Amino acid sequence: MGKLTSPSKLIKGTFLLLILVSIAIFLAKSDFNALKKELSAVGYRFIVILLTTCAAYFLGTLAWWICLGSDKKKVNLIELFAIRQIGETVGLFNPTSIIGGDLSKAELITRYNIPLKEGLNSVAISRITAVLSQLTLFLIAMLWMMFSPLKSEVIRYTGSTIYFVCTLLLVLVLLMLYWLIAAKSPSQNTASTTSFWGKAKAYMQTLLWNVKDFYRHQNKIFWYSYLLFALHWIIGSLEFYYILKFLGTPAQPIHGLILDMSVIVLKSMGAFIPGQLGVEEIANKLLLNMIGITGGTIWLSASLLRRSRQLFWAGLGFIFYLCIKKKPVHVPV
């Protein structure tokens, strides 16, 4: 009879099944009546939230696009925007989180005659610039709180933990910069590369070396990507600001940045949960209280509006996937 399926197809099938199950759980647990009520209250202003996130996603796409080097001529920004949105949707609903999402991006980009190796390198480089810019902005937001009128409220909720967080963020940023600058070549030891874990380790070492090599030889592009991702996070954080504003709560753009950066970190702890159900809602409540916004069910309304935005972009990501899936693969590896 022969083989019914190849290991790669089995892995892809399992991966897809996990995503579909996660989406099903997410939809089953979503209160669509509550979502409809909040959307009705905000009305046409919800478009502002969608446009804000769209602008942020476009900047994130541009930050990845410039990391493709000469290969960026093979794919336009609209196509890359669609690929990135598919990857982000996979990352949201797959237990492997950003790992599964980034692998999906690298695989889909091969449909534009870009080798998988180059796709993975570009995704890894852009992920480093994204994380580095995110940590920097998070540090700035935390330091701002420590020197703002919110300090007493923050200390009341966090105690000395806030000082530990600021120190940890500073150390992480410095360590990442040191790692990028330190020119250590990948290990040439091939004794353990015959095993699966040995090959995986060697592959990861090579991938990380490629990131460092990119930093050394294309320093300007690296920092352009960093700045674009910083703008991506800043504009994306305006979503929180506009939601609070539309709900009649006095807020400043810096509040949106504090909330967005903090929620992202807390959500990462529950990345294995489909759509981070419950994790995001709890994070919203805790952080809104921390910055002194404690009125009634504002945290719930904000959470529902953010869920509405997620559903919109997840649906669009699914449509993008159906369109791109029809495009033939030019480079298999």
> How many Cα atoms sit within 13 Å of 210 on the Cβ side?
19
Whether 22 is in a domain gets the answer no
- Per residue in 261-303, pLDDT tens? 888 877 766 555 555 566 677 777 777 877 777 766 777 788 8
Q: Which residue has the higher pLDDT, 3 or 64?
A: 64
pLDDT at 6 over 60: no
Confidence label for 1 from pLDDT (cuts 50, 70 and 90): very low
Residue 243 lies in a domain: yes
Closest CA to 279 of 42, 157, 97, 141: 97
Q: Please report whether residue 3 resides in a domain.
A: no
Q: Is residue 252 part of a domain?
A: yes
- 3-state DSSP assignment of residue 63: helix
**pLDDT at position 21, please?**
63
pLDDT at 258 (0 to 100): 86
Q: Which residue has the higher pLDDT, 249 or 232?
A: 232
Q: How confident is the model at residue 332 (pLDDT cuts 50, 70, 90)?
A: very low
Average pLDDT estimate for 319-324: 85
Both tokens of 276, joined, read 């981070």
User: 151: domain range?
Assistant: 36-325
Residues 302 and 255: their CA atoms lie apart, in Å, by 13
What secondary structure does DSSP assign to 45-57, as a single string? GHHHHHHHHHHHH
Number of domains in the chain: 1
Task: Give the pLDDT score at 19.
Answer: 59
Q: Give domain status of residue 19, yes or no.
A: no
Is residue 140 situated within a structural domain?
yes
Residue 212 lies in a domain: yes
The set of residues, in sequence order, having a beta carbon less than 8 Å from that of 226 and lying 6+ positions away, is 63, 129, 132, 133
Higher pLDDT, 331 or 281: 281
For residue 204, is it within any domain?
A: yes
